[in-house]
Amino acid sequence: MSTLKEQIENFVAKEVEGTNLFLVEVICSPKSPKFKILILLDGDEGVTIDQCSKLSRSVSAMLEEEDLISGAFTLEVSSPGLDHPLLLKRQYVKNEGRDLKVLLNNDTEKKGELLQTKEESIVLKEAVKEKGKKAISYQEVEIPFNDIKKTFVLISFK
């Protein structure tokens, strides 16, 4: 028997199949007074409010038809915001050309422009400021996915 989270993940995967949308994460929080379900949806070209609304109605109908949750619940479908880390390789591909902050498993941090997403790693263009010099040089740094703890997209106000 699969868990509620797995059932929702499978349902959403079928709903977005054949589109440019993809499921990032399902978070179930059984806190009182209402059970809360958060579905994070993304797309290769972004995701619209209408797409989130449509999926929300479909998931809500499925949950009620299957009677998967007893009692009241809250369902939220949204795109992952800047406060959510990148979780899928597909998200990295979508964010190529943007600046990232990458926290590594050894608790060091790398910042730079995402140049490329490879099968097992990412390539960042990292700024290097030499001690005592004003000039900044750049170096390409390849980071294996296995070494990444969390990655966030940085906001640019340029």
Instruction: Specify the pTM.
Output: 0.83
What is the spatial distance between Cα 116 and Cα 96, in angstroms, rounded to a whole number?
6
Beta bridge partners of 142: 123
Question: Do 4-78 and 89-153 have matching folds?
Answer: no
Q: Residue 51: helix, strand or coil by DSSP?
A: helix
CATH second-level architecture of 4-78? 2-Layer Sandwich (3.30)
Residue 77 CA: distances (Å) to CA of 19, 22, 44, 52, 59: 17, 12, 17, 6, 9
pLDDT per position in the chain (158 positions), as tens? 579 899 999 999 999 999 999 999 999 988 767 889 999 999 998 899 999 999 999 999 999 998 888 888 899 999 998 889 999 999 999 999 999 999 999 999 999 999 999 999 999 999 887 777 676 888 999 999 999 999 999 987 76
* Domain coordinates in residue numbering, the chain: 4-78, 89-153
Domain 89-153 CATH (choose: 1.10.3720.10, 3.40.50.2300, 3.30.70.141, 2.30.30.100): 2.30.30.100
